[in-house]
Amino acid sequence: MVSTTAASLRALETARQCAMLGARHRTISFITQLTPGYISRAVYCKQYPPPIGRPKYSEDFLFKTTRRLQAEASLLAAHYRRLTGDGFRPADALITAYRHHRTTHPASELHFDQAFFMVSRLDGIWAANKSVLSFVECHSCHSTYLAAHGMAQRENCPACRTDWQAPSRRRNATKLLRGPTPALPAPAKAEQHEPWQLDLDIAHVRLLRRLEELGAGHRVRAVLAEKHWATLFRASRGRRTVTSAHLTRPMSLTHWSAKTEVTHRVQYAVFAAHFRRLVQLDLTLVEAMCAAVEEMRKVCHGYPKPVAFDRCFEVAALLDALWGVPTRQFELVRCPECDSHHLVSKLEARPMGCPFCMLIKRHRVLLPAPTNTRASAEVT
């Protein structure tokens, strides 16, 4: 089952590809299921403006156009069919096939909207309720071309009857309009384009997906993604105010080392050290948070009780007074024996020793070896 975040990210990335290929509002709406209002507001930009006019949807387009365009459309449809047969989604197959078509036929008159409607009628998806086109194999060149159901004409293959060496009408018209080739202008300074709203939305959804994969709760995701409704969280029972860090039951800072397991203290220390180092390297807080959690899980892989992302979020907030925490409650202290850094609560009167030293001395108890169920079954 695909998550909502993954589906949203896929729709936004598909919309961006379609806009770059010249698709119109209605085509993008059919493929991605995005609302027309959002498409008008965010999908198009100054670099990729919305095309003018209605989509070039026509039921008899394939049979009233030139043979060259019929052959090009058949080649594109055949490429699309190969991609879908290999497991590509229809939207990805259409975009890939059209990009390949524009690369191999740069002077083609086939528009993306026309290719979209042709594929819709081929598979009975998107803008078509049923399939009305099918592939027919030519006896002469053994290539496949598109024809209507029940109207296959094997002697009328457009690929055989097209002169591929002759320039297309579009290329000739372009040459006549251009006239002599002008001199190259002097290199100008690169134009600064405004940030594309669609790119910003894609980056935002990617962040939410990454946080979701790391196990962040919905409230922590809202705070890190700077959602406007994150300020509406209410205080939990027994707390007068709520901060962005204390979204669950708060840690016991007065007896933190005594009430926190040794393996958890080790994981928090590894996370805090990486988080502070990444922040000093000018990474954003969100990037440093995600990267530190990923690195901590790699280092502490196989621990019996891995710590949650939300707890790491609270540790980071208490360590550097972030996300609503007024003062620092944690500090990293270096152990003189093992030369490692571990967390110490400032509110704890008598903190316990270094968790790394405890882990070294009691590693057989704290980190039991995984049992080999297959070997034990054979012995039994």
For the stretch 173-219, pLDDT in tens is 444 344 444 444 455 544 555 678 888 899 999 999 999 999 999 88
- Count of domains for the chain: 3
- pLDDT tops 50 at residue 336: yes
Share of the chain above pLDDT 90, in %: 49
Asked, for residue 3, whether it belongs to a domain, the answer is: yes
Q: Which among 228, 224, 205 has a CA at the least distance from the CA of 216?
A: 224
Instruction: Report the pLDDT value the prediction gives residue 298, as an integer from 0 to 100.
Output: 95
Instruction: Report the pLDDT value the prediction gives residue 167, as an integer from 0 to 100.
Output: 62
Are 71 and 151 members of one domain? Answer: yes
Share of the chain above pLDDT 70, in %: 82
> φ and ψ at 9, to 5 degrees?
-65, -40
Are 27 and 100 members of one domain? Answer: no
Are 29 and 60 members of one domain? Answer: no
Contact 290, 211 (CB under 8 A): yes
Instruction: Report the pLDDT value the prediction gives residue 195, as an integer from 0 to 100.
Output: 72
- pLDDT tops 60 at residue 372: no
What are 264-301's pLDDT values in tens digits?
999 999 999 999 999 999 999 999 999 999 999 999 99
Average pLDDT over residues 321-335: 91
Instruction: Report the pLDDT value the prediction gives residue 176, as an integer from 0 to 100.
Output: 39
Are 270 and 332 members of one domain? Answer: yes
Average pLDDT over residues 306-331: 92
* Averaged confidence pLDDT in the chain: 84
| Sign of the dihedral through C-alpha 200, 201, 203, 208 | positive
245-254, 260-269, 291-300, 370-379, range with the lowest pLDDT? 370-379
- pLDDT tops 80 at residue 376: no
Asked, for residue 380, whether it belongs to a domain, the answer is: no
Contact 220, 314 (CB under 8 A): no
Are 80 and 113 members of one domain? Answer: yes
Are 351 and 305 members of one domain? Answer: yes
Number of Cβ within 10 Å of residue 126's Cβ equals: 17
Instruction: Report the pLDDT value the prediction gives residue 179, as an integer from 0 to 100.
Output: 46
Instruction: Report the pLDDT value the prediction gives residue 152, as an integer from 0 to 100.
Output: 54
Q: Last residue of a domain, which of 129, 163, 197?
A: 163
Distance CA(218)–CA(269), nearest Å, equals: 25
Instruction: Report the pLDDT value the prediction gives residue 64, as an integer from 0 to 100.
Output: 83
84-98, 140-154, 250-264, range with the lowest pLDDT? 140-154
Asked, for residue 332, whether it belongs to a domain, the answer is: yes
Q: Last residue of a domain, which of 163, 186, 209?
A: 163
Q: Which residues pair with 144 in a beta bridge?
A: 137
Asked, for residue 200, whether it belongs to a domain, the answer is: no
Instruction: Report the pLDDT value the prediction gives residue 295, as an integer from 0 to 100.
Output: 96
Distances (CA, A) of 249 to 233, 291, 316, 378: 14, 24, 16, 45
What are 350-369's pLDDT values in tens digits?
899 999 999 999 888 888 76
Asked, for residue 211, whether it belongs to a domain, the answer is: no
Are 339 and 258 members of one domain? Answer: yes
11-15, 178-182, 324-328, range with the lowest pLDDT? 178-182
Tell me the residue type at 230.
A
Instruction: Report the pLDDT value the prediction gives residue 363, as an integer from 0 to 100.
Output: 86
Are 356 and 261 members of one domain? Answer: yes
What are 70-118's pLDDT values in tens digits?
888 989 999 999 999 999 999 999 999 999 999 998 888 899 999 999 9
Are 359 and 259 members of one domain? Answer: yes
Are 49 and 127 members of one domain? Answer: no
Average pLDDT over residues 17-35: 94
22-26, 124-128, 181-185, 256-260, range with the lowest pLDDT? 181-185
Q: Which among 145, 167, 166, 171 has a CA at the least distance from the CA of 156?
A: 145
Distance CA(315)–CA(4), nearest Å, equals: 29
Asked, for residue 321, whether it belongs to a domain, the answer is: yes
Asked, for residue 216, whether it belongs to a domain, the answer is: no
- pLDDT tops 50 at residue 373: no
Q: Which residue has the tokens 């959002």?
A: 38
Are 46 and 92 members of one domain? Answer: no
Are 86 and 157 members of one domain? Answer: yes
Domain that holds residue 144: 56-163
pLDDT category of residue 15 using cuts at 50, 70 and 90 = very high
Number of Cβ within 10 Å of residue 166's Cβ equals: 10
What are 159-169's pLDDT values in tens digits?
676 665 556 55
Instruction: Report the pLDDT value the prediction gives residue 320, as an integer from 0 to 100.
Output: 94
Asked, for residue 196, whether it belongs to a domain, the answer is: no
Q: Last residue of a domain, which of 163, 178, 201?
A: 163
This prediction's pTM: 0.73
Instruction: Report the pLDDT value the prediction gives residue 57, as an integer from 0 to 100.
Output: 84
Instruction: Report the pLDDT value the prediction gives residue 282, as an integer from 0 to 100.
Output: 93
